[in-house]
A = this chain, B = another copy of it.
Amino acid sequence: MQQVYINQLSRHAGEEVTVRGWLYNTRSSGKLMFPQLRDGTGVVQCVVFKKAVAPEVWDALNHLGQESAVTVRGTVRADERAPGGFEIDVADAEVLQRAENYPITPKEHGTEFLMDHRHLWLRSRRQHAILLVRHTIVDAVRDFLNRDGFVLCDTPILTPAACEGTTTLFEVDYFGEEKAYLSQSGQLYNEATAAAFGRVYCFGPTFRAERSKTRRHLTEFWMVEPEMAYATLDDVMNLSERFLSSIAARVLEERPEELKVLERDTSKLEAITPPFPRLHYDEAVRILHEGHERGEMEQRFEWGGDFGSPDETYISGRFDKPVMVHHYPAAVKAFYMQRDPERDELALGVDVLAPEGYGEVIGGGERATSLEFLEEQLRLHELPREAFEWYLDLRRYGSVPHAGFGMGIERCVAWMCGLEHIRETIPFPRMLYRLRP
């Protein structure tokens, strides 16, 4: 007796198989029962004739609660009307565990209720689809970078100092000896490994203790950060373009069913192909000013500021592809950014803004190469010099132009899936008031 996964039933048409899963739904009409089984790979409708099975099997299946554990033995039959194209004519079945009063029913539930039951909510069709897209995105990210010759160099989570400011850091007591902080970015460590391996990436969880509760923020999220030695802002833009396009292509190729479940407009993903429009910060500001003049933007944007969510949405709304805004004012960017040699007030950084209001999905740029410049920046930002000595070493020994970017996986998943809220993009989201389950 072959044990078969539901997504492979097509290879077993006409054969007798065993499927092991959970009761997803069921209906009955006296002598006929149609239990739908899910096994994590798909859902299949089973057909049980009262006369075809032993009475105890019929009784066991009858009035069985949703999410009860069931295995069935039966023959695979092609049926055009069936969702996956196949049904199972049941010869025998076994109920391993009877579930009663499964909390998540087809009726509408409030978000808090669903979040409290996240461990069960994951079994629902929509959540299942989202996390399969996430799986594919992670896989696409790694494949792309590995094939391009990037070396995975995991950066530490427990760090002695902050990469950018200290107000949003989670603090950890390190053996009562000193304070450690949970990493917000592998950026600085990437610069060390890029000097050792040429092209590297880190890919792990990052943490921000932000007291904001928005649809775009998690306190724990995953980030991939490639970094290249001997590379410039242009190289980062070229890489970002190829990178995002390859992710969109993989999702379209491998997850058509899931995109259907999510009712995603796939034309939006098909549009993600190189080249992406590139906008100098000055031009982006001009677009915002025009928007203000036309009455489409409430306030007039002040040159020199960082873009807020409405600004990003307005700018990206003028294009059907991600937009790369570059040469931001240095004042709104991290201390380690390289300055524009022609206009010192600008940083050689780029933000990639996703269409459809998904905001910044990639942030990156060129890193400063000069020891003196960085020493000055540490002073200006009042960062503890001692904790950055190792980082300064990278400028003492073989400093070269280098550049890279970071992409938050959850923002990318939300965008690819077309989700309103980022909380559904990760199996167990962590937010300001949410540490459970």
Given the known inter-chain contacts A40-B198, A195-B123, A400-B20, please indicate yes or no for A435 contacting B174, CB distance below 8 A: yes
- CB–CB B123/A196 < 8 A: yes
Q: A151-159, A317-325, A332-340: which one contacts chain B?
A: A151-159
Q: Which of A170-186 contact B (CB under 8 A)?
A: 170-175, 177-178, 180, 182
Complex Cα gap A220–B181 (Å): 13
User: Closest Cβ of chain B: how far from A90's Cβ, in Å?
Assistant: 18
Q: Which of A121-180 contact B (CB under 8 A)?
A: 122-123, 127-128, 131-132, 134-135, 138-139, 142, 146, 149, 151-160, 170-175, 177-178, 180
Given the known inter-chain contacts A175-B209, A435-B180, please indicate yes or no for A397 contacting B102, CB distance below 8 A: yes
User: Closest Cβ of chain B: how far from A142's Cβ, in Å?
Assistant: 7
A304 within 8 A of B: no
A78 within 8 A of B: no
- Chain A to chain B contacts (Cβ below 8 Å), 11 pairs: A23-B398, A40-B196, A103-B397, A118-B390, A120-B397, A122-B153, A135-B152, A139-B146, A142-B142, A156-B220, A160-B435
> Which 6 residue pairs across A and B have the least CB separation, nearest first?
A40-B198, A390-B437, A119-B192, A122-B196, A40-B197, A67-B398
User: Closest Cβ of chain B: how far from A260's Cβ, in Å?
Assistant: 18
Chain A interface: which size bin?
Answer: 35 or more
User: Closest Cβ of chain B: how far from A225's Cβ, in Å?
Assistant: 13
Residues of B within 8 A of A378 (CB): none
- CB–CB A128/B97 < 8 A: no
- CB–CB B97/A399 < 8 A: yes
Closest chain B residue to A65 by CB distance? B397
Residues of B within 8 A of A385 (CB): none
Q: Given contact pairs A40-B229, A103-B397, enumerate 4 new A-B contacts (beta carbons under 8 Å).
A: A20-B230, A40-B195, A41-B149, A69-B398
User: Closest Cβ of chain B: how far from A253's Cβ, in Å?
Assistant: 15
A428 within 8 A of B: yes
